[in-house]
A and B are shown apart, each in its own frame.
Chain A
Amino acid sequence: MAAASISVTESSLVLYALRRADDALILGHRLSEWCGHAPMMEEDMALANMGLDLIGQARELYSYAAKVEDNGNDEDRYAYLRDVRQYRNLLLVEQPNGDFARTIVRQFFYSAFADAYWRAMMGSEDATLAAIAAKSEKESAYHIRHSSEWVIRLGDGTPESHRRAQDAVDDLWAFTGELFHTDDSDAGLIADRLVIDPESLRAGWTDTVTGILRTATLACPGKSWMQKGGRSGNHSEHLGHLLSELQSLQRSFPGATW
């Protein structure tokens, strides 16, 4: 007997919190997949630590969404009992880990945005979002530092590490446009200053990314067609597989605790 998916009443604020929570949960889960498999023990710990930071952010955002939705859902129900089409995360974060370079480049693209995003969100008129931002910013500041240092070392390392890092940059670039996605649901929140307009972060993100890539001797892809769809539930084929693992226990044994 499998547990059925929940229904969610997605008001603008609930949808907004779920989108950010899903980013954090899915990227955190991806990092957790490295546990016990990283190239060296030190990096195994670093990736797991970042994953736990992200899952902590997801929990706070899900809890806030549950409070705003006020429909009997909670953080666990959002995480374990929504189907793939109900997930609202960026396509970037669900992309498979690949090799170490790909994981690092994915983290770098996301963290370069998240760090500036959380810092800006500390000024939100929504007290809960501002508090979550203040805590998350300290974590994302470390994530961007750690991933930047690795991007530089991989890009400016051996011919093989350079090739792998460049491949990751080229392949993941098309997923970076969605970082700045907004839609009608966001517009009211932005107007009320509850959330920031991500467009205001684009110049800073571009500066950060091009600067680090240059230091890393990696070529920065030019303007190109960008993938999107995650924010409205149109995901790549990878997310379903990820969720089948993440949700298997609660789907198979509804309400199981230990």
Chain B
Amino acid sequence: MSTPNIQLWEVFIRSRNGLAHKHVGSLHAADAALAMQAARDIYTRRGEGLSIWIVPSDTIVASDPAEKDMMFDPALSKIYRHPTFYDVPDEVGHM
């Protein structure tokens, strides 16, 4: 059944203390209180979370897929940005 005119929300769950909230999916709800309850009912049924964030989907500013090449390709050739690019002398030990 379709749910016209009902706000879409993005759901973020933090699974453990010390971890970041992670996007898990979306849902429809008429307002924030119902969205929070729906997030709890849909996304934490198997003990997945200790904390929930919900965000109205239309407040998210997303990058344009058509601009993917411009946005992300330039990084591919800069392998020196990865820490593994550098040889660390044995004398340094663990960094």
Contacts and interface: CB of A to CB of B under 8 A. Distances in A.
Nearest to B39: A42
A153 B37 CA distance: 14
State the main secondary structure of chain A at its contact with B. helix
Contacts, number: 32
Contact of B45 (A40, A41, A42, A49): A49
Interface in A44-95: 45-46, 49
A227 B28 CA distance: 39
B27 to A, nearest CB: 5
Contacts of A146: 37
Contacts of B29: 42
Interface residues of A, number: 14
A45 B42 contact: yes
Interface string A108-151: 00000000000000000000000000000000001001100110
Contact of A40 (B6, B33, B37, B40): B6
Interface of B: 1, 3, 6, 27-30, 33-34, 37-38, 40-42, 45
Interface of A: 39-43, 45-46, 49, 142, 145-146, 149-150, 153
